[in-house]
Amino acid sequence: MGDWTVQNPGTIAVAGASGYAGGEILRLLLGHPAYVRGELSIGALTAGGNTGTTLGEHHAHLLPLADRVLTATTIDELAGHDVVFLGLPHGNSAEIANALPDSTVIIDCGADFRLTDAAAWEKYYGTAHAGTWPYGLPELPGARERLTGATRIAVPGCYPTAASLAMAPAIAAGIVEPRVNVVAVSGTSGAGKALKPNLLGSEVMGSVSAYGVGGVHRHTPEIRQNLSAISDTEVTVSFTPVLAPMPRGILATCTAPTTVTADEARAVYEKAYADEPFVHLLPEGRYPTTGSVLGSNVAVIGLTVDTEAGLLVVISAIDNLTKGTAGGAVQSMNLALGFTETDGLSTVGLAP
Amino acid sequence: MGDWTVQNPGTIAVAGASGYAGGEILRLLLGHPAYVRGELSIGALTAGGNTGTTLGEHHAHLLPLADRVLTATTIDELAGHDVVFLGLPHGNSAEIANALPDSTVIIDCGADFRLTDAAAWEKYYGTAHAGTWPYGLPELPGARERLTGATRIAVPGCYPTAASLAMAPAIAAGIVEPRVNVVAVSGTSGAGKALKPNLLGSEVMGSVSAYGVGGVHRHTPEIRQNLSAISDTEVTVSFTPVLAPMPRGILATCTAPTTVTADEARAVYEKAYADEPFVHLLPEGRYPTTGSVLGSNVAVIGLTVDTEAGLLVVISAIDNLTKGTAGGAVQSMNLALGFTETDGLSTVGLAP
Amino acid sequence: MGDWTVQNPGTIAVAGASGYAGGEILRLLLGHPAYVRGELSIGALTAGGNTGTTLGEHHAHLLPLADRVLTATTIDELAGHDVVFLGLPHGNSAEIANALPDSTVIIDCGADFRLTDAAAWEKYYGTAHAGTWPYGLPELPGARERLTGATRIAVPGCYPTAASLAMAPAIAAGIVEPRVNVVAVSGTSGAGKALKPNLLGSEVMGSVSAYGVGGVHRHTPEIRQNLSAISDTEVTVSFTPVLAPMPRGILATCTAPTTVTADEARAVYEKAYADEPFVHLLPEGRYPTTGSVLGSNVAVIGLTVDTEAGLLVVISAIDNLTKGTAGGAVQSMNLALGFTETDGLSTVGLAP
Amino acid sequence: MGDWTVQNPGTIAVAGASGYAGGEILRLLLGHPAYVRGELSIGALTAGGNTGTTLGEHHAHLLPLADRVLTATTIDELAGHDVVFLGLPHGNSAEIANALPDSTVIIDCGADFRLTDAAAWEKYYGTAHAGTWPYGLPELPGARERLTGATRIAVPGCYPTAASLAMAPAIAAGIVEPRVNVVAVSGTSGAGKALKPNLLGSEVMGSVSAYGVGGVHRHTPEIRQNLSAISDTEVTVSFTPVLAPMPRGILATCTAPTTVTADEARAVYEKAYADEPFVHLLPEGRYPTTGSVLGSNVAVIGLTVDTEAGLLVVISAIDNLTKGTAGGAVQSMNLALGFTETDGLSTVGLAP
């Protein structure tokens, strides 16, 4: 963390400011205590095709920045900032990262630097692997330490955030077999602002759809990586994403074979998350609803054991744009810069 | 089937006409060819607390019947009809069924006569087991024969319809291990018109929730029964229902361990459903959306094999009120009465 | 009407079959008695950019036509049909209409031939006026006669259908001053499948928006024309459209100054619509909901007089794609071809 | 404002804490700087039928207060607090207010003390008029002064907030005739948590409905009062509320006859709202969407003149629970207690 003051604030650039990730980062920054105090300032807001338009045309909810004009996403525009958030299409981050100084804190909301396995990257993304950065999910074992003071951070995918938080304690404690099944229902903002017919309001309202079925979704290797890293053996992951008619939220239903009781499983989770400010374990018999975490940075988790089926069943709910993207990014930024980890992040959702 | 004519039509009563199942049965009957020709007529429409009100107050969409007054659900009101549909709370059907003549075709949309296992009934429903009737899912092996000419029919639950159609071919062909995992997302009409806070529009819109987690949902033993009946060995079923912000529709994601290829699995399904008018198998790489089956009696199915996870993944979509309840009931009625099985049932949905 | 038989059926082409209007026309035709009997057949299905794809890729709900391949919208493709529905962008209909024989029944769901006033056309649409065809709203005074046997039909806009049916009786009877205020809330399918950011599901869900404010919406002159044609004096119309988070439906709140009582106004409406199969007048104190007319061809109307404000208040609800577009088109086709006017059109909606 | 410190904080009670107004007040208080600093504390949370349950059962989004137990709404429970928010059914506030000391700041979210005209109260609410308190809409002429240091505050209704902010500048400046037409579309939370069939998710999703048509809605006299108070002559108001399928938000379309130009009207509004932190005037040609103000305390306004119809058209959007209820309440509390008016209230919404 620099010695930033109101007179000499740290500056933040957001590349991809007209997208949903960019907008959510800005929403959170506008409420960040260091921004409110004037010790952080918002610098360049850049875009691709939307260059030259105002932020208000894309994010009418960000009134304090409504008149800010978007500039082009170039090295020149991003240079000179202390912190740069990247909300770009996959594959575009490496070039920018390489051109900026090592001291710049770069926080990439894209996938480029998430995977450690180059082969998995190439299989799922089809381009050359750019590398691996510290992974911005502080609740995973060892992650918080790697993020503290980091200058390069790979923000996790939204589904991997929900699924990894749901299953990590069980996998790490070895109370389940390493075969995880994830069916995760997501709101539409996870697909971004891409102009595709299947994302039109007329199509998504009143309907749910499965897509990326059979292990082909790009978040599959990321979930596998997170869980395998804390397991004695390689974890297999079956992942099915489902699109639901709501703008935000992910509800992940995760199962794995177990022989422990529900109480034993609960004890494992209580211990794992006892000190986590952004994981909330529900009491026995209660399960989460995504409506309770909209705009909040919390993952709410409910769990039980289905004794007849022999499965641990864990349900987790997050806001895909907050804890699943921009909130995780700001939480990681706080660790990187030495702020209090919870600064600017709420445990209170907007409901109903 | 009686010798019904325009001069002497068969008469149909609907008990529970103000509920969603009752309303959907009436919607379908109004378009049934025998009703349109005048060979079937709609007689008593009965209710519980809504007795004395008009149907139009509860189902504004059923304009041709808007002024019909609901009478009390009693034996006297239901007696004298050729066909009686029951859309009553669980546990209320047996008394009525026992009091009506054996020749009356009784089609129960409740759960009372679905389960063969009295112990399972008592565990999940908490009352004495009333018996078992022919199960109204004609697509299951042997079911069509049992329904033809039947005078007592147990309409399947909505989730069991979606899950059983998804997994029956694989189980019957023995291409999967008998361990099935079902995560099914449903619209809110599946919960009926119960006035519960969690079903208020303000609560359900913009949110998805898991409930009945861990094998406690009452449809669990029904799915298990359907699949075990066509399997060499007992099938275990893990079932997690999820409530989504839409009025209608169920999307079931079903998995089971397999060693066959996707092509082999597809061949099994193509053979199983080749002649079924109300099951539509999507081509490779496509998966269903509930929005395409609203108001239609079709189950749309997409499938693949996740080779890394070693799982067959089958996605099925139905309208919970049509194929999942009232459509299945009318399809069974057609078999019971000797009508063409598809009469009054559409393969075309209302979209968008 | 031709002498069409199963051996020699009338043929229907739909231009713009991948759009919402085209899809809804096909949904209705699939249930039309003459199609079911085999006396009408569905011929060419044409498209613009979607040429070469199957209908199933765009309208998964139209299963019986899922494998039909879309051909290009050209004169050659459309020639040789008895009936041609046009669901094309505004301005594209005239060229096609001119090239087809006078005996072909052409039913244009676009705006091209709706307006009688060339100046109004040019002001609102910016191109040369193509002409005026019989207007496909049979419930307006004189319209049914003009549509009977017609070979060219201009299908009304969705908002004008809702607003004109709401206010026509009062204007024709002279019980209101000719100053009409319309605020109409519409589902998103009214905007078609245009890939615009503001029509993305993430944007429209959970939000309502006003647009086309201040008399600039293109349906304004059409409403004015309809009401002025049955009034002694020119009617002024203020029209504000509002986009709501639902796929279908229009609810129009229409007011005009009056001095009559609610009972007097009701009597006027009862008389005007006594014999109309597709207009349903609600009893005193009840008002429509769009949810009751989804997929039905009915306009439901409720009305009262606000005595303190001195206004007649009429609320009308339609399905914008059915009565507001494709249903009105099929109703007009029935009149043009000599079928029963209600053939293939339902008064029963799909709810909930 | 008391001399509150971390050691001796001011205490706040919320009566009706399990309702939507109560929940939103608590959401805002949890983020209020004085609460965050520890100078305000949250005391009794009371309820009616929900007494004895935890807050978390009703408001899962308010995690920091999830374990707080609701006590009964009695004088004893509410006594001893410095500030008491009332979120009770209409007619229940007077008895409580009379029993609490004059020095207690009572902020009533119910209607009891809004109207000055006892006859209007009795006509619309059917009980004896309890009195009139300072009206919590600081943006109205003179209101801010009356609220500063007040100990009794009547929080405005949600529709009156939207409609009054939309039309007050025009009425006060005399640029319109005093005949105002308001059609306002609202999310369902405005109806509270009442367990009514028409508020079930299955009923409201996919549908819009008009209700309270013809001047009978209770907010009609409140809008009339607000506008008449700043007009030379009595203002007549036609008000039609419309229920839309979304949890939050109001979009009000307001018109009144005018002869001024759009530019002249805009100048009036710019002047009226130049210094208001919670009113945002959109540039020419842009109109608000409720999705941009979710959770924010801002009213966004767009306006134009329909010259053909001779009407000023003003569209306003608010969050009915924030600016329309709890946000207005907290803004008024800030004035009453001497805090900065904007404390704890955001101009940034949660979108998408």
Q: DSSP string spanning D136-180?
A: S-TTSTTHHHHHTT-SEEEPPPHHHHHHHHHHHHHHHHT-B-SEE
Give the rounded distance of the alpha carbon of C216 from its chain centre.
Answer: 20
Q: Are A335 and A143 in contact (CB under 8 A)?
A: no
State the count of interchain CB pairs (< 8 A) between B and D: 67
Q: Which of B26, B78, B107, B158 is catalytic?
A: B158
When CB atoms are compared, the residue of C197, C205, C245 closest to A195 is C197
Chains in contact with D, where contact requires at least 3 CB pairs less than 8 Å apart: A, B, C
- The encoded tokens of residue A133 equal 């950065």
CA angle A71, A76, A81 (to 5 degrees): 90
Work out the end-to-end distance of chain A between its first and last CA atoms, rounded to an integer number of angstroms: 37
Q: Which of residues 251-290 of B touch A (CB under 8 A)?
A: 251, 253, 255, 262, 287-290
In sequence order, the 6+-apart residues with CB closer than 8 A to the CB of C15 are C22, C44, C46, C73, C78, C84, C85, C86, C87, C88, C96
Q: Are B180 and B228 in contact (CB under 8 A)?
A: no
What share of chain C has pLDDT > 90, as a percent?
A: 98
Q: ipTM more than 0.85?
A: yes
Taking the CA of residue D97 and the nearest CA in chain C, the distance in Å comes to 33
Q: Does C48 touch chain A (CB under 8 A)?
A: no
Q: How does D235-252 read in b/e, with b if 16+ C-beta sit within 10 Å?
A: bbbbbbbbbbbbbbbbbb
pLDDT value of residue D42? 98
> Do strands A105-108 and A83-86 pair parallel, antiparallel, or not at all (unpaired)?
parallel
Give the Cβ contact number of residue D309 at 10 Å.
Answer: 22
pLDDT value of residue D1? 55
Residues C264-300: pLDDT tens digits? 999 999 999 999 999 999 999 999 999 999 999 999 9
Which residues of chain D lie closer than 8 angstroms to C237, CB-CB?
A: 309
State the count of interchain CB pairs (< 8 A) between B and C: 83
d(CA A280, CA A283): 10
When CB atoms are compared, the residue of D62, D296, D351 closest to A348 is D62
Which residues of chain D lie closer than 8 angstroms to A205, CB-CB?
A: 206
Quote the longest CA-to-CA distance of chain C: 64
Crossing angle (nearest 10°) for helices A158-173 and A262-272: 110
Which residues of chain A lie closer than 8 angstroms to D288, CB-CB?
A: 60
Amino acid (1-letter code) at residue D100: L
Q: Are A296 and A322 in contact (CB under 8 A)?
A: yes
C80, pLDDT greater than 70 = yes
Q: Where are the alpha helices (H) located in A31-138, listed in sequence order?
A: 33-37, 55-58, 75-78, 93-99, 118-125
* Contact flag C294-B350 (C-beta cutoff 8 Å): yes
Which residues of chain B lie closer than 8 angstroms to D60, CB-CB?
A: none
Residues B243-271: pLDDT tens digits? 999 999 999 999 999 999 999 999 999 99
When CB atoms are compared, the residue of B27, B247, B292 closest to C348 is B27
C-alpha torsion angle, residues D105, D106, D107, D110 (rounded to 10): -170
Residues A7-64: pLDDT tens digits? 999 999 999 999 999 999 999 999 999 999 999 999 999 999 999 999 999 999 999 9
Query: Which of these ranges, D1-5, D44-48, D176-180, has the smallest mean pLDDT?
Result: D1-5
* Contact flag C193-A205 (C-beta cutoff 8 Å): no
pLDDT value of residue A212? 96
Work out the end-to-end distance of chain B between its first and last CA atoms, rounded to an integer number of angstroms: 37
Residues B63-102: pLDDT tens digits? 999 999 999 999 999 999 999 999 999 889 999 999 999 9
Q: Which of D88, D158, D279, D333 is catalytic?
A: D158
When CB atoms are compared, the residue of A61, A248, A280 closest to D349 is A61
Q: Are A183 and B183 in contact (CB under 8 A)?
A: yes
Mean pLDDT of C16-41: 98
Chains in contact with B, where contact requires at least 3 CB pairs less than 8 Å apart: A, C, D
Read off the DSSP letter of residue A345: -
Give the HSE-up count for residue A246: Cα atoms under 13 Å, Cβ half-sphere: 31
Q: Does A60 touch chain C (CB under 8 A)?
A: no
| Bond into A160 cis (ω within 30) | no
Taking the CA of residue A51 and the nearest CA in chain C, the distance in Å comes to 16
pLDDT value of residue A50? 96
Q: Where are the alpha helices (H) located in chain D, listed in sequence order?
A: 20-30, 33-37, 55-58, 75-78, 93-99, 118-125, 143-147, 158-173, 201-204, 220-228, 262-272, 327-337
Q: Does C187 touch chain A (CB under 8 A)?
A: yes
* Secondary structure of residue B168 in the 3-state scheme: helix
When CB atoms are compared, the residue of D209, D306, D308 closest to C289 is D209
* Contact flag D188-B206 (C-beta cutoff 8 Å): no
Give the Cβ contact number of residue B84 at 10 Å.
Answer: 25
Alpha carbon distances (Å) from D55 to A4, A295, B234, D68, D93: 40, 19, 44, 6, 22
pLDDT value of residue D2? 65
Alpha carbon distances (Å) from C10 to C31, C74, C81, C153, D120: 15, 20, 8, 18, 65
d(CA C196, CA C203): 10
Q: Are A208 and B290 in contact (CB under 8 A)?
A: yes
When CB atoms are compared, the residue of C193, C206, C245 closest to A197 is C193
* Secondary structure of residue A190 in the 3-state scheme: helix
Residues B47-62: pLDDT tens digits? 999 999 999 999 999 9
D99, pLDDT greater than 90 = yes
In sequence order, the 6+-apart residues with CB closer than 8 A to the CB of A277 are A341, A342, A347
State the count of interchain CB pairs (< 8 A) between A and C: 68
Taking the CA of residue D174 and the nearest CA in chain A, the distance in Å comes to 30
Low-confidence ranges of chain A (pLDDT < 50): none
Q: Does A30 touch chain C (CB under 8 A)?
A: no
* Contact flag D237-C309 (C-beta cutoff 8 Å): yes
Work out the end-to-end distance of chain D between its first and last CA atoms, rounded to an integer number of angstroms: 37
D111, pLDDT greater than 80 = yes
Residues B189-222: pLDDT tens digits? 999 999 999 999 999 999 999 999 999 999 999 9
Q: Are B122 and B128 in contact (CB under 8 A)?
A: yes
Amino acid (1-letter code) at residue B141: P
- The encoded tokens of residue D141 equal 């002429």
pLDDT value of residue C312? 98
Q: Does C93 touch chain A (CB under 8 A)?
A: no
C1, pLDDT greater than 80 = no
Q: Does D201 touch chain A (CB under 8 A)?
A: no
* Secondary structure of residue C126 in the 3-state scheme: coil
* Secondary structure of residue C4 in the 3-state scheme: coil
d(CA C22, CA C108): 11
Q: Does A245 touch chain B (CB under 8 A)?
A: yes
In sequence order, the 6+-apart residues with CB closer than 8 A to the CB of B49 are none
Give the HSE-up count for residue C62: Cα atoms under 13 Å, Cβ half-sphere: 27
**Residue of B196, B200, B320, B321 to mutate, interface with D, max D Cβ within 10 Å:** B200
Q: Does C179 touch chain D (CB under 8 A)?
A: yes
Q: Which is nearest to B209 in space by CA: D38, A288, A179, A292?
A: A288
Q: What is the DSSP string of B243-278?
A: E-SSSS-EEEEEEEEB-S-HHHHHHHHHHHTTT-TT
Q: Are D256 and D181 in contact (CB under 8 A)?
A: yes
Amino acid (1-letter code) at residue D42: I
Q: Does A250 touch chain C (CB under 8 A)?
A: no
Q: Give the position of tokens 């609202």.
A: D186
Q: Which of residues 220-239 of A touch B (CB under 8 A)?
A: 236-238
State chain A's mean pLDDT as an integer.
Answer: 97
Read off the DSSP letter of residue D289: B
d(CA A288, CA A308): 23
pLDDT value of residue B3? 83
* Secondary structure of residue C240 in the 3-state scheme: strand
> Do strands A279-281 and B71-72 pair parallel, antiparallel, or not at all (unpaired)?
unpaired
* Contact flag D201-B247 (C-beta cutoff 8 Å): yes
Give the Cβ contact number of residue C30 at 10 Å.
Answer: 18
- The encoded tokens of residue B315 equal 């996605």
Residues C197-252: pLDDT tens digits? 999 999 999 999 999 999 999 999 999 999 999 999 999 999 999 999 999 999 99
